[in-house]
Chains A and B, each alone.
Chain A
Amino acid sequence: MKTSNLHSFLALLLAGFALTSCNQEGCTDSAASNYDSGADSDDGSCDYDVITPSEYVFTDANGNNTVNFDGQRQRLNMLSEMTTYLKSSNTPGTSVDATTLLAMYGNDGYTWNDDQQLGMTGSSKQLRSKTAGGDTYWTETFEGFMTGIADASAQTVEGETSGAAGVSGVVGSSTSSSQYLQSAQGQEWTQLIEKGLMGACFYYNISSVYLASGKMDVDNSTAVDAAEDKFYTEMEHHWDEAYGYFTDATDYPTNGANRFWGKYADGREDLLNSASRLSAAFRTGRAAISQNRLAERDAQIEIINRELERCAAGTAIHYLNDALGNYADDALRNHELSEAKAFIMALQFGAITSVNTDAVNTLLGTLGEDYYTVTTAQITQVRDDLAALTGLTEFASNL
């Protein structure tokens, strides 16, 4: 504002001189970002900054709300309910049922709590078909985790934390009251499923589906179906669907920092500014679409891809450091390494990634499968390699 006032003043001042000087073409609108104070003849080149709203709230010319990500909210809620169910197995003697988990995963005959009454039960929305585009390698991987936790949970006995090196079961922390159901190698299915689906489902759909060309090179001029209150264009809607996989709060990070990517971006805010950068990029990109500024939209897509990668890698590094800090505590170390593994896995689902599937497998190979016999050298090696790949070396010890 101050700048444009100054510019107005200068413009007036210069206009006086211009009367006596030669004709110069350029942008003469002082509200434009490329306003040329030396120009006295407008050549139609004026460029305007996209105005980014402070919240993810967008309306059409008539004031109708154009934002809708109900389908994403349903899937976030499905994963929340599934995670709650999975965590019940951390209490020894409480088993989780494979059939139930698979029914939740495919939303196939499962009755949800559906606290927000979104109509989740019997809806066409599901996590399974959206996992890496329904790729069977990945859906079977997650289904394997689900049968794995079901089998292991059925073996636990009330009151007994009998999980240990070589023995699957609930492992009790030696330094806190935490306890987790883990495999004989210390891998924690709940983390691999929850954080794994954050990657294979949510991250994948944001980066590789909705912000990719297939969903971005679409109509951006007409409302999809105004009669059905779908006042958004197809492109706007796709962008909203990407946002909905990041968070379902329009006022993020005031709200929405309690789960999934919204939560971990908030956790990386202090060092990586993940929450503020992602939130701003989603809002700016959406505003750019509404103003049909596609170059600006693409710039924001680049930011989102980069920041999601930094957030995922930074979170993996954070958990690797936590595991070093809790190295002597089997339950916490295994828990944190399982989280780190899932966030490393997530990196391969970005459209533009510094850590492709081969790199992910190399990193996980370095970490090894057995979290009871992992060395501090292995953990720091994975951490430093990952940091180098993602440009986070300066934060490797601090995250």
Chain B
Amino acid sequence: MTFLNSEKRPTGSALLPVGFFISTLCLVLVAVGCNPDSDDREVTFDRGPFLENTVQSVILPAYSDYSAQCQALRNASEQCTAGQIDEQDIVSLRGFLRLTYLSWQHAALFDFGPAADRALYLTTNTYPTDTSEIVAEISNENWTPGLPATLNSIGLPAMDYLLNHASAGEIADLMNSEPARFAHFQRLIDFLAEESSAVLYAWEHDFKARFVNSTGTEEGSSIGMLLNAFNEVYEQGIRKQKLGLPNGIMTFSETPQPHLVEAPFSETWSVELMHEALIGCENLYFGDRMQGDSQQIGIDDYLKSLGDFEYGIGLHNEISGQLSTAKAAVLSMQDPLGQYVVENQSATYDVFAELQSLVVLWKVDMMSSLGVLITYQDNDND
């Protein structure tokens, strides 16, 4: 697959008969870890403004919105008093949790720098969550959120469980009869609120300047980190975790695993979250929330700057078309997604195929066109 695609998109000035040979040679070099040199292509694209816009129009808004949503959920929970919680309070908290969950889909894409320093991706949304561990931790006064052993019982999935595993009235009753349960919910949101604001703070105060100033494409450069994190989150966190595992296509048995969907207890959010994640990808790709209709510089402009070739404008057209197709395909599924993957497994395979097409376009074609090396599969496990 890689070979076929890349042969169509020779790098360098390889549009001559020697093109095939050169591109084949480059492939061999890439295969043994050579860093493809984008300078060969005489790219005139100015990466500084691209990085600046990505921070200002995409990354900072994503973190500041997510942090604000965490804070809103925290504030809402502080309005409640254990013992006097009613059904309407739970409905209201659920509304805030849903908004936080949606907002996280945007912030999740930037799993490098300040987010990686705090393992934000893991502390926020590791699922499936371990419900018996959550219950056990409710009464643990020495519980420290964020340690490795707590990762599968904290974050948004744990709150989905605590707020959504029964009817709003039943949840209110449980919280009232067991105040520690509500207090634990508050500990969970306190932790998320603090972690999200710490990451936002680090971006605003130190990391932003470093990110914007590193304009190369080598391993460890801003573009390298951004696009590696993006590809990894898309491939593993969106395509695989949100759909490929629940519908069974990426499991050995190929049987649906309904409990693996995101936010399973909500029963109504999973499809919406998956769709929102694609909107997050779209925002990053186009450089803003206008999907390319504005003048903001995004990855789309970077690709277009490569010229009117298959690996430039042609590739951009493919990506933007496939994004629309994938979003529509996701919306063709219905919540509860856990039930849907069981009853309509083959239909979800079709949706998965649309998500998979984006992996090829982004991870293989886009990255090789931009001359940025994928490094995240590199495991020094020796």
- Beta-carbon contact of A176 and B379 below 8 Å: yes
CB neighbours (8 Å) of A270 from chain B are: 35, 218-220
CB distance from A322 to the nearest CB of B (A): 7
In-complex Cβ contact of B116 among A165, A176, A321 (8 A): A321
A328 at the interface (CB under 8 A from B): yes
- Beta-carbon contact of B219 and A376 below 8 Å: no
- Beta-carbon contact of B220 and A327 below 8 Å: no
When A321-B116, A322-B380, A324-B116 are in contact, do A395 and B148 touch as well, CB less than 8 Å? no
* A–B pairs, 23, beta carbons within 8 Å: A176-B381, A270-B35, A270-B220, A271-B220, A319-B380, A321-B116, A324-B116, A325-B116, A328-B126, A330-B148, A332-B379, A332-B381, A372-B149, A373-B148, A373-B149, A374-B148, A375-B147, A380-B117, A397-B113, A397-B207, A397-B225, A398-B219, A398-B220
Chain B positions 135-153 with a Cβ under 8 Å from a chain A Cβ: 146-149, 151-152
CB distance from A342 to the nearest CB of B (A): 13
When A372-B148, A398-B220 are in contact, do A324 and B210 touch as well, CB less than 8 Å? no
In-complex Cβ contact of A324 among B35, B119, B126, B152 (8 A): B119
CB neighbours (8 Å) of B76 from chain A are: none
- Beta-carbon contact of A328 and B119 below 8 Å: yes
Number of interchain pairs (Cβ within 8 Å): 67
A394 at the interface (CB under 8 A from B): yes
Chain A positions 331-360 with a Cβ under 8 Å from a chain B Cβ: 332-333, 335, 339
B110 at the interface (CB under 8 A from A): no
CB neighbours (8 Å) of A395 from chain B are: 220
Residues of chain B at interface, number, CB under 8 A:
27
- Beta-carbon contact of B146 and A335 below 8 Å: no
CB neighbours (8 Å) of B215 from chain A are: none
- Beta-carbon contact of A398 and B119 below 8 Å: no
In-complex Cβ contact of B117 among A319, A328, A394, A397 (8 A): A397
Q: Which residue of B lies closest to A379 (CB)?
A: B117
CB neighbours (8 Å) of B207 from chain A are: 397
CB distance from B297 to the nearest CB of A (A): 23
A267 at the interface (CB under 8 A from B): yes
| Bitwise interface map of B from 186 to 229 toward A, beta carbon under 8 Å scored 1, else 0 | 00000000000000000000010010001000111100110000
- Beta-carbon contact of A327 and B148 below 8 Å: yes
- Beta-carbon contact of A324 and B117 below 8 Å: yes
CB distance from A321 to the nearest CB of B (A): 7
CB neighbours (8 Å) of B126 from chain A are: 328
CB distance from B263 to the nearest CB of A (A): 19
Chain B positions 267-314 with a Cβ under 8 Å from a chain A Cβ: none
Q: Which residue of B lies closest to A325 (CB)?
A: B116
When A271-B220, A376-B117 are in contact, do A328 and B35 touch as well, CB less than 8 Å? no
- Beta-carbon contact of A327 and B119 below 8 Å: yes
- Beta-carbon contact of A376 and B210 below 8 Å: no
CB neighbours (8 Å) of A375 from chain B are: 146-147
Q: Besides A327-B151, A398-B220, 5 other CB < 8 A contacts? A: A328-B152, A376-B146, A380-B117, A395-B220, A398-B224
Q: Which residue of A lies closest to B111 (CB)?
A: A325
B122 at the interface (CB under 8 A from A): yes
- Beta-carbon contact of B380 and A271 below 8 Å: no
CB neighbours (8 Å) of A155 from chain B are: none
Question: In whole angstroms, how far apart are the Cα atoms of A377 and B117 in the complex?
Answer: 8
Question: In whole angstroms, how far apart are the Cα atoms of A267 and B382 in the complex?
Answer: 13
A399 at the interface (CB under 8 A from B): yes
- Beta-carbon contact of A376 and B381 below 8 Å: no
CB neighbours (8 Å) of B119 from chain A are: 324, 327-328, 376
A141 at the interface (CB under 8 A from B): no
- Beta-carbon contact of B225 and A398 below 8 Å: yes
| Bitwise interface map of B from 26 to 54 toward A, beta carbon under 8 Å scored 1, else 0 | 00000000010000000000000000000
- Beta-carbon contact of A165 and B220 below 8 Å: no
- Beta-carbon contact of A165 and B112 below 8 Å: no
CB neighbours (8 Å) of B149 from chain A are: 165, 372-373
| Bitwise interface map of B from 366 to 382 toward A, beta carbon under 8 Å scored 1, else 0 | 00000000000001110
In-complex Cβ contact of B381 among A271, A333, A335 (8 A): A335
A178 at the interface (CB under 8 A from B): yes
When A176-B379, A322-B380, A397-B116 are in contact, do A328 and B220 touch as well, CB less than 8 Å? no
B259 at the interface (CB under 8 A from A): no
Question: In whole angstroms, how far apart are the Cα atoms of A144 and B118 in the complex?
Answer: 34
Question: In whole angstroms, how far apart are the Cα atoms of A321 and B151 in the complex?
Answer: 18
| Bitwise interface map of A from 133 to 150 toward B, beta carbon under 8 Å scored 1, else 0 | 000000000000000000
- Beta-carbon contact of B210 and A394 below 8 Å: yes
Ranked 4 nearest A-B pairs via Cβ: A398-B220, A327-B119, A380-B117, A270-B219
- Beta-carbon contact of B148 and A328 below 8 Å: yes
Question: In whole angstroms, how far apart are the Cα atoms of A270 and B375 in the complex?
Answer: 12
Question: In whole angstroms, how far apart are the Cα atoms of A376 and B148 in the complex?
Answer: 9
In-complex Cβ contact of B380 among A165, A267, A330, A372 (8 A): A267
CB neighbours (8 Å) of A325 from chain B are: 116
Question: In whole angstroms, how far apart are the Cα atoms of A267 and B147 in the complex?
Answer: 30
CB neighbours (8 Å) of B113 from chain A are: 397
Q: Which residue of A lies closest to B195 (CB)?
A: A376
CB neighbours (8 Å) of B380 from chain A are: 267, 319, 322, 339
Q: Which residue of B lies closest to A381 (CB)?
A: B117
CB neighbours (8 Å) of B221 from chain A are: 398
Chain B positions 228-252 with a Cβ under 8 Å from a chain A Cβ: none
CB distance from B115 to the nearest CB of A (A): 10
Q: Which residue of B lies closest to A263 (CB)?
A: B382
Chain B positions 303-343 with a Cβ under 8 Å from a chain A Cβ: none
CB neighbours (8 Å) of A333 from chain B are: 148
CB distance from B159 to the nearest CB of A (A): 18
| Bitwise interface map of A from 260 to 273 toward B, beta carbon under 8 Å scored 1, else 0 | 00000001001100
Question: In whole angstroms, how far apart are the Cα atoms of A328 and B118 in the complex?
Answer: 12
